[in-house]
A and B are shown apart, each in its own frame.
With several copies, the nearest count.
Chain A
Amino acid sequence: MNPFAITTLPLNVEALISYVSSPQAGAINTFIGTVRELTGEKKTIYLKYEAYVPMAEKQLKKIGTEVQEKWPGTRIAIHHRIGSLAISDIAVVIAVSTPHRAASFEACRYAIERIKEIVPIWKKEHWEDGTFWVGNQQETISYEKGEPK
């Protein structure tokens, strides 16, 4: 299995868990991002994810390297789905195994936060009353220039 993949296929949580499982692991943490129906009062019909695939896979791998440097002894896999997703579909799965439990939570949390910072994937909400590219019209968020840290 490619541990860092962007795919149009449904994600297989068990496959990622198996991949990170090892005799050295005492803890596996998985984060699964799913399509939520309501955001505030907006009702989602479906979502569409788009990615710059080769770069996104490189960035996922970079996150894996960062995690293994910060939490030695970690095994990690990340898959992100793109294309059209319905309510409750899985958009992202992160699986992290570590010898002890605290690191599994910390490393998995770190990975999802980094995905939201540096991986070129975009979500387009298809609401009852229109569409919206998430992340580019929220003028309350200021984006500093240059490479994302």
Chain B
Amino acid sequence: MISILLFAQLQEEAGCSEVEIEADAVSIADIKTLLQTKYGIGSLLESCFVAVNEEYVEDTVVVKNGDTVAFLPPVSGG
């Protein structure tokens, strides 16, 4: 199982904060496609950073069973 976390506007667009998928060795691109087609997330996804297990990763990483993938809109803390 892979947990997908959504924050801020992404969460509002999807209408949920967490999505779980049964999968292993999935690309970030595949997850993005899922979020866009099934959860109606729009172009904001293209400007998001991605973190796997609480660490920023490149878009090219492959996600494994047990990982937590977070999609992070441009941050605005401080």
Binding site for B on A (CB under 8 A): 33, 49-52, 54-56, 58, 80, 91-92, 101, 112, 115-124, 133-136, 141, 143, 145-148
Contact = CB atoms under 8 A, between A and B. Distances in A.
Contacts of B44: 136
Given A49-B77, A51-B77, A121-B75, A136 B59 contact: no
Given A49-B77, A80-B77, 8 more contacts: A50-B7, A80-B78, A121-B76, A122-B7, A122-B9, A122-B73, A134-B76, A135-B74
24 contacts: A52-B7, A52-B54, A52-B72, A55-B54, A55-B55, A58-B55, A91-B78, A101-B78, A112-B78, A116-B76, A118-B56, A119-B78, A120-B75, A120-B77, A121-B77, A121-B78, A122-B8, A136-B8, A141-B74, A143-B49, A145-B59, A146-B59, A147-B57, A147-B58
A135 B58 CA distance: 20
A136 B47 contact: yes
Contacts, number: 89
Interface residues of B, number: 22
B35 interface: no
B75 to A, nearest CB: 6
Contacts of A118: 56, 75
Contact of A146 (B7, B55, B58): B58
Contacts of A51: 77
Contacts of B51: 52, 55, 120
A94 to B, nearest CB: 9
A51 B9 CA distance: 12
Interface string B61-78: 000000000101111111
Closest 4 CB pairs of A and B: A121-B77, A135-B76, A122-B8, A134-B76
